[in-house]
Amino acid sequence: MKYLLDTSALLAHFRDEAGAGRVQELFDEAGSDIFVVSVTMTEFSRRLSVLGATAAEIERCLGDYRMLFRAVVSIDEVVALRAFAISESCLPRIPLVDSLIAAAAAITSATLVHRDSHFNRVPGRELVQEQL
């Protein structure tokens, strides 16, 4: 099974907040492929910085997580255009970064795992979601 973690899911796991256990189950699940989007790496790093982590600690943490991911999905033209289509289907529109993350999940045929209420506005026809 394919899963794409939103930044909110990754932070929940890192901070051992609600939903952390489910994210750990996904990491432990035999045969699961875990993806993140390149912008998630930026959002996650920024949040760790706000929480007081040093640049070296952030780099080490990202390296540890990176070993658990099947791939980091890049934002390319296909993802960008799908993000636009998804944002147009949401009323009100979701934030740009969230539309990019949703598009990457849709394009990779992965279940989007998140704790972000913005994704509740994405129609079910656009992607499969699991809210933590």
pLDDT per residue as tens digits for the range 32-84: 999 999 999 999 999 999 999 999 999 999 999 999 999 999 999 999 999 99
Q: How confident is the model at residue 3 (pLDDT cuts 50, 70, 90)?
A: very high
Return d(Cα 15, Cα 98) in angstroms, integer.
21
Q: Where do the structural domains in the chain lie, given as residue ranges?
A: 2-131
pLDDT, tens digit (0-9, with 9 covering 90-100), for 71-100: 999 999 999 999 999 999 998 999 999 999
CATH of domain 2-131: 3.40.50.1010
Retrieve residue 107's tokens.
């394009």
Residue 5: Cβ-neighbour burial (10 angstroms; 0-12, 13-18, 19+): buried
Taking all residues of the chain, what is their mean pLDDT, rounded to a whole number? 97
Retrieve residue 44's tokens.
């996650």
Measured N-to-C along each axis, helices 96-107 and 38-50 cross at an angle, to the nearest 10 degrees, of: 140
Stated pTM of the model: 0.95
